[in-house]
Amino acid sequence: MSHRERLDRIQASCQRLPLSMRVWILLVLIPVNATGFFMLHTASGGLVALATLFVLAANGVTLWHYASVNRALALPHLIAWVPLQVALVARLIGGWGADDMHLDEWLLAVLVVMVNSVALFFDTVVSWRWWRSRHLSLEADGL
């Protein structure tokens, strides 16, 4: 498959997502997590940016490999965002970081925790379904 065909398949796959999911991803999930790049001067911003880079890289490779949006895209969110959530909550309650949080960092941490909590709920369900379908397919093959 050529690069152009692969890109066309990815685009078509994205277009098939429900409108509500596309709006959530493009207008909420990506912008909230991308905000970390504008707050690298804070501990929370650096962590959010690092987790976002990991998710973008892993999902980019996954999208390219499968040439479509699929359940495997949820796995990098679990890997990156669960530790991020723990670190941000610890930062919010004063259990991590030497300096006090300024309002901008506090707002970022609260917003990311809220948005990623919603996303993680759905990612957990999707990841379970993806793992289960792969596991059942291996059983059917006698492995």
**Cβ-proximal residues to 103 (8 Å cutoff; 6+ apart), any chain:** none
Task: Give the Cα separation of 69 and 49 in Å (integer).
Answer: 23
Which tokens in the block code for residue 21?
């999911």
Which of 60, 74, 76, 79 has the alpha carbon at shortest distance from 21?
74
Q: Is residue 67 a contact partner of residue 143, using CB atoms and an 8 Å limit? A: no
Tell me the per-residue pLDDT of 106-134, one tens digit each, with 9 for 90 and over.
999 999 999 999 999 887 877 777 677 76
Angle 114-129-116 from CA coordinates, rounded to 5°: 10
Please state, rounded to an integer, the average pLDDT across all residues of the chain. Answer: 88
- What whole-number distance in Å separates Cα of residue 81 and Cα of residue 78? 5
Predicted model pTM:
0.83
Q: Bigger pLDDT: 28 or 141?
A: 28
Contact status, residue 41 vs residue 99, Cβ threshold 8 Å: no
Largest CA distance in the chain: 57
Spatial CA neighbour of 74 closest among 14, 23, 129, 126: 126
Structure confidence by residue, pLDDT tens digits, 48-85: 999 999 999 999 999 999 998 887 888 888 899 999 99
Is 90 exceeded by the pLDDT of residue 95? no
Task: Inform me whether the pLDDT recorded for 136 exceeds 80.
Answer: no
Residue 99 pLDDT level (bands cut at 50, 70, 90): confident
